[in-house]
Structure 1
Amino acid sequence: MEQSGMIASQSNTRSEFSRIEGLALFLGCIAIQLVTEVMTQWGAYFYSPPSGGGSIVYVAIGLAGTMFVVTYIVSALSDPIIALWSDRTDTRGRWRLVPLEGRRRPFIFWGSIGVTITGVLYWHPPLAHASMLNFLFGTAVLCLHWGLFVSMCTTPFNALGPEIARTKEGRVRIGTWIAAGMIVGLAVAEIAPGILVDLLSPVRTEPLPEDGIVPVSPEGFQRMAILFSAVALLFFQFTVWTVRERYHSERQSVITPPLAIILQTLRNTVFLRYILIFFLFNLGYLAVQRVMPYWAKVGLHGTESTVSLLMAPYIVFAMLALVLTDRLSKRLPVKWMIFISLAIITSGLPMMYVIGVCGLSDNVKTLLGAALFAYCGIGQGMQYVLLTPMIGEIIDYDERRSGERREAIYQSVSGLAWKGAQALSVYVATLTMGFWGNSIENPTGIFLVGPIAGLFGICAMAVCWTYPVLHVARKGPGEE
């Protein structure tokens, strides 16, 4: 009897969503990485490359950071508005220009078109020298990109996972699809740009500068952006036309005013710990991402493609971590698996300084960097799987208290933590480099970002230690 119950449970888990829907979420995650990570990793670097390398500097390093800070502030304000709009949208799709039913897919449809346009425009600053006009142009395009179109894509998209998968087992499965997409997307977004910039750049006819540093090619970045934007549009549209939304607006029994919804969200102490964990962690971790092109070029004496080479072992071990996480989920609560993932990455970040200042050859440094990336990839792979079950439990807990399904508002408010961390991580990176140095002659500021990020990781681990173990599951449609 018990065995038959287990078989039935496994069957219900498998039937929660189809493989084509899992594939759609997988491709959608790749698209998200392409429209966000490429700009996060290379955006500031493109506008303000290291001085002394012969590249065009479009804005000063401080202004490059300010561009992104302004953008994340705008995005933080727009995310809850789009989330509330999506949560309250009539699912029947009447009187729409494109006849799409549901609360999520119409936003993804139009947002994906917008990010395609802004994802290309950003890499075409109007003047080929440092100018305030370039700063204003870049800031305006970034605000449209992140503050409007990315929010229209990501906030409704992230709400689909907890809505489609309703059991713990189903959410681990959907989380694995999402994690695989995030990792593959990260692989493409981190590995391919450096290679593509080199391949798509015009053939050099003039000799290298005396310092041997290859200048940044604007044409290479621009052509790369067109390619990635087109692929992201295709993947987003595949998601729009293949995923079936489960929620129907007429089922909603309680209507809460928008301001009250936000206040209720912020009074959820479990959720507050959740966002504090990832705010602190990402504050340092994203700062490390921002200095990676600088670290690879100045610390390892590489080119843009060196970042791509370093990311290869990171991606491989992140994919291997998916199997590890699936097995650990049968033995450990989500809380402790998140704690382990934080510990892995946090313990590795200070090694960026050690590798940068050691007197070893460039080849040995590159090998050590690859080993460090592989180690951190294990922790990142675990996090990608666990985020969906973790936020899903919080949303289920809220539904029991409020009587409403509010995936989008929880995703958007948690997104505020990410956006806040993104904004401040710009200053963690740029102020560290500005104070201690980011030039070829004085790279100390670049190397110090890793240890500083490790301190933020320790703070995140301390908060995670206090996070409760939740045992909340939402029943499927036929079980209510």
Structure 2
Amino acid sequence: MAARDDLPAMPLLDRLLYASASFGGNVLSRSRDLWLIYFYAPPPDADIPRRVPVLVLGALLLAARVIEAFDDPLIGWWSDRTRSRWGRRIPFVLFATPFYALFAALLWTPPDPGQSALNAAYLFIVLEAFHLFSTLSGGPFESLLPEIAPRSQDRVSIVTWQVFFGTIGAFVALVVSGIIVDVAGFQAMGVTMAVLAFASRYIGLAGAWRHARRDVEPARTDFLQAVRSTLANSQFRAFLPTFILFNAAISLLTSALPYWAAVVLLGGLKPEIARVESGRELALQLGPLEFGVGVGTAVGLLTGAAIVVVLASLPLVYQLSVRKGKAWVYSRALLYGSLYMPWLAFMGFIPGVDPFLQALLFVAFIGVPMAAVYTFPNAIQADIVDYDYLLTGQRREAIYYATQATLEKIASALYPAVLAVLLSLGASAENPLGIRLVGPVAGLACLLGLVTFRAYRLPDQVTPEAVQGRGLSVKRA
């Protein structure tokens, strides 16, 4: 393993191209997390119609995620066993990406303008198609990382650039999407995000094309054995629940922001396109200036504040990871999230301070743990794959990413249901209890993740000597 660092460096341009795909991935996933529940089940005072009852929507999203999750290990196992002139991963990315973008756009075009069973059925079918092609394209693409970048230095470089491009993508998804919604509507926003994701994925594939190995012997384990041996990896079991819970906490907060803006900040009044206009009912006052604020723009400003903190935190996060290690920084981010997120329940309660300014400050500092969520999972997963190679003698990147995706999707299916239950406790201007409970629930998820991560012991450089020095076995099964 140490000899891998003596290999030729991956050119910077190719690293940048491959890493840039995280822009499109975040554009699509974060905008969907932010707006999909609100689009189909807005609060009663919103200026868009309800298309699906909120509890039905929660159950539908849960069922869709659970059903869809089981194709991930099958596709990962298929990719690991594929032999082609383009290698094991590229054919999947090449042919599935157009359908991935198409069904992403169709999520925002329900057939009935009002609430109906037809809309529920349409959403379920389109979601299943979107999830299938997302897995066919995204799973093999992510699995390219350990393959195209065997050198530790190149992996660190790629992951760092992925955070940079992913943060820009998150900014577009969480800030620009709201402005597009206010100005042009949800359909225009959905198409824009889908086109950006489509272009970004192909640009990323261009960076990996020359480096994707064609000489790797396909894995020969059967499907059930592949899944069992993956789950038998103690370090994978230590990391996976942590990643799922951490990501679910961020997704839960993200999905709740439109409700927070519409109900708590704007008091249930009907929003319009954001614009500067003195004397309006919905206004943000900054000194002598008064800004009219609609739901989309309010959410954009809140998430934009968090993104600024993510960017500001990246140099510190990177330097700490160099000095202390990825796992050390990741665990501290979990601790921060578990202690900080519950305080979001008190946004707007500070007397004498504009509630919107309070919200900006409270939400901004979610960016600190978000920086860790964006930075470390891919790098930690690559280390786990290297450890698996020590144990099995096979390169099985795809089954690891796929198994992670399966369990993540099952778990992430729970957060819309959790949000739906919380909203049922109160999601109106008169009773916002459910909205205010989102922060404490997200903090609890981070705390549970911190507890499970205590069992993770892999060093940053995975070699037999370093692994044994941490008390881990390298005996092949």
Fold equivalence (TM over 0.5): yes
Do residues 233 (structure 1) and 222 (structure 2) align? no
TM-score by length of 1: 0.85
- 8 Å CA contact 2:108–2:186 kept in 1: the answer is yes
Q: 1:406-456: CA deviations, max 9, x gaps?
A: 11111111112321221011111111111x111232211011111111112
Equivalent residue for 1:470? 459
Q: Does 1:127 align with 2:127?
A: no
Amino acid at match of 1:350: P
Distance 2:182 2:383 in 1: 45
Superposed structure 1 runs of 4+ greater than 6 Å apart:
none
The answer for the alignment partner of 2:275 in structure 1 is none
Question: Is 2:104–2:130's contact at 8 Å kept on the other side of the alignment?
Answer: yes
Deviations along 1:329-378, one digit per CA (max 9) or x if unpaired, are: 2221222111111122222211221015x1647x7222222222332212
Tell me: CA distance 1:240–1:283, structure 2 relative to 1, closer, same or farther (3 Å).
closer
Partner of 2:446: 457
Q: How does 1:160-309 map to 2 (within 5 A)?
A: 160-200=144-184, 220-244=185-209, 246=211, 248=213, 250-252=215-217, 255-301=220-266, 303-309=295-301
- C-alpha deviations, 1:106-147, integer Å up to 9, x for none? 21222220122112211111111111110000111011112x
Q: Does 1:352 pair with 2:337?
A: no
Matches of 1:241 and 1:323 in 2, distance apart?
Answer: 28
Question: Could you state the TM-score of these two structures normalised by the residue count of structure 2?
Answer: 0.86
Task: Show the counterpart of 1:214.
Answer: none
1:330 is paired with a residue of what secondary structure? helix
Which sections of structure 1, spanning at least 5 residues, go unmatched? 1-7, 93-100, 201-219, 476-480
Q: CA separation in 1, counterparts of 2:207 and 2:149?
A: 16
For each residue in 1:10-63, what CA deviation from the matched residue of structure 2 results, as whole angstroms up to 9, or x when unmatched?
A: 8x58x5322222222232111112222211211111011001334211010112
Are positions 1:384 and 2:374 aligned together?
yes
List runs of 5+ in structure 2 lacking aligned partners. Answer: 267-293, 465-477
AA partner of residue 426 (structure 2): G
Asked whether the equivalents of residues 349 and 450 of structure 1 are also in contact (C-alpha less than 8 Å), the reply is: yes
Q: What SS does the aligned partner of 2:376 have?
A: helix
* SS of residue paired to 1:397: helix
Which position in structure 2 is the counterpart of 1:316?
Answer: 308
CA 1:366–1:30 in 2, change beyond 3 Å: closer, same or farther? same
Distance 1:60 1:9, change over 3 A: closer
Partners of 1:321 and 1:343 lie apart in 2 by 16
The question of whether the paired residues in 2 share the 8 Å contact of 1:33 and 1:189 is answered with: yes
Partner of 2:13: 20
Aligned-residue CA RMSD (Å): 2.3
1:325 matched residue in structure 2? 317
* 2:91 pairs with 1:106: yes
Structure 1 residues 91 and 179, CA, compared in 2 at 3 Å: closer, same or farther? Answer: farther
The answer on whether the counterparts of 2:306 and 2:365 sit within 8 Å (CA) in structure 1 is yes
User: Which of 394, 397, 407 is equivalent to 2:387?
Assistant: 397
Q: 1:286–1:421: 8 Å Cα contact kept in structure 2?
A: no
Aligned to 2:406: 416
* The one of 427, 432, 435 aligned to 1:443: 432
Return the alpha-carbon distance in structure 1 between the equivalents of residues 217 and 235 of structure 2.
Answer: 24
Q: CA deviation at 1:225?
A: 1.3
Q: Secondary structure at the match of 1:260?
A: helix
Match of 2:273 in 1: none
The answer on whether the counterparts of 2:310 and 2:370 sit within 8 Å (CA) in structure 1 is yes
- Residue of structure 1 equivalent to 2:417: 427
1:83 correspondence with 2:80:
no
Q: Which residue of 1 aligns with 2:326?
A: 334
Shift of 1:309: 0.5
Q: Quote how far apart the aligned CAs of 1:76 are.
A: 0.9
Offset from partner CA, 1:380-413 (integer Å, 9 cap, x none): 1133222222111110010111111111111111
Q: How far apart are 1:170 and its partner, in Å?
A: 2.5
The answer to whether the 8 A contact 1:49-1:56 is kept is yes
Q: Distance in 2 between matches of 1:279 and 1:253?
A: 29
**2:95 corresponds to which letter in structure 1?**
W
Taking the aligned partners of 1:329 and 1:341, their CA distance within structure 2 comes to 12
CA distance in 1, matches of 2:15, 2:356: 36
Asked if structure 1 preserves the Cα contact closer than 8 Å seen for 2:50 and 2:114, the reply is: yes
The SS at the match of 2:10 is: coil
Contact 2:219 2:396 in 1 (8 A): no
1:73 aligns with 66
Q: Counterparts of 2:101 and 2:451 in 1: how far apart (Å)?
A: 40
**2:45 is matched by which residue type in structure 1?**
G
Q: Aligned match of 1:37 in 30, 42, 46?
A: 30
Deviation per residue, 1:158-189 (Å, 9 max, x gap): 11222222233322111101111221111111
Distance in 1, matches of 2:357 and 2:146, equals: 40
Q: Distance in 2 between matches of 1:380 and 1:354?
A: 20
Q: Distance in 2 between matches of 1:9 and 1:396?
A: 11
CA distance in 1 between partners of 2:120 and 2:38 (Å): 13
Residues 97, 198 of structure 2: 8 Å contact kept: yes
1:9, CA displacement in angstroms? 9.8
Tell me the equivalent position of 2:365.
Answer: 375
Number of the residue aligned with 2:128: 143
CA contact (8 A) 1:321 1:382 kept: no
